[in-house]
Structure formats: structure tokens, C-alpha cells
């Protein structure tokens, strides 16, 4: 096969062994970044941690997704096409969004492509972020080949729920969702078309953050969405991840600063499994369940979330160095849900 080098075959074989042989792929393409020169290159043998090779970050970059909301990662002129904010007399904002559903193939592990249904071409969809009391107006255009909706968690009238037969947005049609942002907390949105598990699992979900009117203390804010992919359509996931790409943060650690507070917006959208979890090595964090309280519910090193459940986690790194984080379900961790923090800065004086 043209362009199918022994090296790329070995790379694919690594993915195959990771997936127990139940993988689905198209012709592999060379990674733009190469794959042999990382200090975190675990990919020499099937028994080592992680996937082998790199996923192209040209179309979706899990690291950019981690710290972006309201399309802030786009240049201003481009951003204006998808997001506008207008002050209102009471001091709040009208926030307007352009969201479209489109079918698109995404790369979820090196050389492993998945035929996704997406919001704005990305899985997860764009993070929508407002302040309590703002007005949110979303123009949703369905450019996919199936009926879809946007169902938001949060207060809204029933005709904005995007869940009933009458709410279905057919291919080529559009609908405007409009509601006040409340309550403050960490929420999500997803398609609510039957069969629900297929419409959600195909990739139609995203994070919806509502900030309290008095904002939370400054922190390095990170959006982590736990998801999985059923690549052979047997109603079980072959790949697990945080922010879609298996093991992305294992080879590209999340850089954080010692002594600077970190706030993680953790959302679980994993289909087919009852629960998912996050475990952080070497430290503890405060847990604010659903983010609806400013007083933590727990201080722990492992948080477990049901599908659709979410929590805000707050902590501060004490020591420089590498800190692993992963699902505490070992199976999920070994199938891609594992990453690293790289804490930088001087050791805190005690
Ligand atoms: Cu749908």
C-alpha cells in the first residue's frame, strides 16, 4: 500500500494491541509533529503506557479546548461569527451563539478515526460560558443528516428544552434557544434525539458554565470532559479519554504553576458505563458538586461521577514535577483515560 511504511504499520499495531484488536481505522497519515522525539515517548512496545504516535491537532486540539470558552481561542473577526455579547440595561449581558450540527470524522487516537456527529465540527462542542442572570441566545442550525437538538441543563421554560418530538430540529432547519442563565454552576448541553445513547455518544455534547455574579477566586481554569467511543458499535467503549483524544495529556502534559490555584471543570458524558472518575496522584482537591455551592462538599483525591454529572475541583500544586491523573477504573485508564500535569515553579517555602 502506497505510503504505508513498516514504521506506520508498527504504530498502528501498537494501537491495535491497546484496543485488544477491536479497532477501526482508515489509511494512517503521518503526524505533523512526528512521534519519535518526545521526552515522554512511551510508545516503544505494546506493554508500555499509552498509545503510539500522535494525533493531528490541526482541527481539534485538546489543550486549546482545555482553556477556551465562548470561542475565545479564535481571532476576533472569526470569533464574531460564532459569539457576540451585548450589555443590557441591568448590567448583565446578552450572549449570542451560532452553533451548527455537522457530521465529521474525528481522530480519537493515533490513526484511529471515528465517524462523529458534532457541534461546530468538534467533540466536545464549544464551551458556552455565561454569568448568572445573563440572557443566552443560541441559534442552532442542523447541517447534519439526522434530526438533532440542543438540550441544556439549567433553568428554562419547557419549549426551550430540546427534548420532545415537537422540539426536533430536522436537517437543514434551525431553532433559536433562549433563556436566562441560572443557576450558577457547572452544567452541560447535549442532543436529546432518540435513540438518545447513540445521539449523545456520537459526539453531540458540550460544557455549559454559569459563573456566580460574584466571581470565584482567580485560578488557572481547566475544562475536562470525560468521554468514550464505541468504535465497533457493540454498545461498549473501546476508547476512553478526557477531551476526546486517548492519552493526549500523557504525551502533552498540562503545564501548571506551583502555588497558583487550579480549578478543574470536570464533566462526565461517558456513554455505556455507569460511572467514570478522576483520580489525581500526590495531592487532594476540594469538590464542589455541580458547582452550585461556593462551599466544598468534599476534600479527596478521587471523585466519581455518573453520566451527566459534573463537579468543580480546586487545588494548588505544592511541588514541582509530574503528577499523573486518570480514571480510577483501571480499564478506562488503560484504554486512554490517563494524563499528566507538569507543575513548574519553585518549591513552596514552608
Ligand atoms: Cu442528535
Residue 84 sits in which domain range? Answer: 62-344
Q: Is 330 left (phi over 0), alpha (psi -120 to 50) or beta?
A: alpha
Q: Do the domain assignments include residue 278? A: yes
Structurally, the chain folds into a number of domains equal to 1
168 band by pLDDT with thresholds 50, 70 and 90: very high
| Residue whose grid cell is 443590557 | 88
The pTM score is 0.85
pLDDT one-digit tens code per residue, 9-31: 334 334 434 443 333 334 444 44
Of residues 239, 342, 344, 220, the one with CA closest to residue 281: 342
Residue 168 within a domain: yes
Q: Is residue 283 part of a domain?
A: yes
List pLDDT tens digits, range 38-51: 444 444 444 556 77
97 contacts 136 by C-beta, under 8 angstroms: yes
* Residue at 21 is within a domain: no
Task: Output the CA 226–ligand 1 centroid distance in Å.
Answer: 19
CA of 106 to the centre of ligand 1 (A): 17
CA of 149 to the centre of ligand 1 (A): 6
26 in a domain, yes or no?
no
From the CA of 232, how far away is ligand 1's center (Å)? Answer: 19
Give the CATH number for residue 234. 2.60.40.420
- Quote the ligand 1 centre to 163 CA distance (angstroms): 10
Mean pLDDT of 101-120: 96
| Ramachandran bin of 345, using left for φ above 0, alpha for ψ from -120 to 50, beta for the remaining angles | left
Q: Where do we find the cell 481539534?
A: 60
Residue 324 counted as domain residue: yes
In this structure, is residue 151 part of a structural domain?
A: yes
CA of 71 relative to ligand 1 center, distance in Å: 22
pLDDT confidence bin for 346, thresholds 50/70/90: low
Ligand 1 centroid from CA 175, angstroms? 14
C-alpha of residue 295 to centroid of ligand 1, in Å: 36
Residue 27 lies in a domain: no
Distance 269 CA to ligand 1 centre (A): 14
Residue bearing cell 437538538: 149
Task: Using the mean position of ligand 1's atoms as its centre, give its distance from the Cα of residue 311 in Å.
Answer: 25
Amino acid at each position: 500500500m502506497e505510503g504505508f511504511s513498516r514504521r506506520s504499520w508498527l504504530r498502528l499495531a501498537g494501537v491495535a494491541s491497546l484496543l485488544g484488536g477491536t479497532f477501526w481505522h482508515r489509511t494512517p497519515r503521518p503526524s505533523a509533529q512526528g512521534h519519535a522525539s518526545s521526552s515522554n515517548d512511551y510508545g516503544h512496545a505494546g506493554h508500555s503506557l499509552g498509545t503510539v504516535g500522535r494525533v493531528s491537532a490541526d482541527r481539534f486540539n485538546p489543550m486549546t479546548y482545555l482553556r477556551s470558552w465562548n470561542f475565545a481561542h479564535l481571532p476576533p473577526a472569526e470569533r464574531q461569527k460564532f459569539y457576540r455579547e451585548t450589555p443590557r440595561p441591568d448590567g448583565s449581558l446578552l450572549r449570542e451563539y451560532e452553533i451548527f450540527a455537522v457530521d465529521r470524522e474525528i481522530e480519537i487516537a493515533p490513526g484511529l478515526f471515528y465517524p462523529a456527529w458534532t457541534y461546530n465540527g468538534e467533540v466536545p462542542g464549544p464551551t458556552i460560558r455565561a454569568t448568572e442572570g445573563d440572557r443566552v441566545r443560541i441559534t442552532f442550525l442542523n447541517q447534519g443528516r439526522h434530526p438533532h437538538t440542543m438540550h441544556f441543563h439549567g433553568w428554562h421554560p419547557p419549549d426551550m428544552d430540546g427534548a420532545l418530538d415537537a422540539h426536533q430540529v430536522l436537517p437543514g432547519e434551525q431553532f433559536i434557544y433562549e433563556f436566562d442563565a441560572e443557576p450558577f454552576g457547572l452544567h452541560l448541553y447535549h442532543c436529546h434525539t432518540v435513540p438518545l445513547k447513540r445521539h449523545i455518544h456520537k459526539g453531540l455534547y458540550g460544557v455549559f458554565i454559569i459563573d456566580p455574579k460574584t466571581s470565584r477566586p482567580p485560578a488557572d481554569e481547566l475544562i475536562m470532559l470525560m468521554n468514550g467511543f464505541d468504535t465497533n458499535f457493540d454498545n461498549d467503549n473501546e476508547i476512553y479519554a478526557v477531551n476526546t483524544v486517548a492519552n493526549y495529556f500523557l504525551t502533552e502534559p498540562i503545564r501548571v504553576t506551583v502555588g497558583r490555584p487550579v480549578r478543574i471543570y470536570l464533566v462526565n458524558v461517558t456513554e455505556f458505563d455507569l460511572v467514570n472518575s478522576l483520580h489525581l496522584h500526590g495531592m487532594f482537591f476540594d469538590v464542589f458538586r455541580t458547582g452550585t455551592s461556593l462551599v466544598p462538599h468534599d476534600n479527596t483525591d478521587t471523585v466519581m461521577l455518573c453520566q451527566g454529572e459534573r463537579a468543580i475541583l480546586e487545588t494548588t500544586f505544592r511541588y514541582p514535577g509530574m503528577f499523573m491523573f486518570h480514571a480510577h477504573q483501571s480499564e478506562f485508564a488503560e484504554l486512554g483515560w490517563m494524563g499528566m500535569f507538569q507543575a513548574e515553579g519553585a518549591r513552596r517555602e514552608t
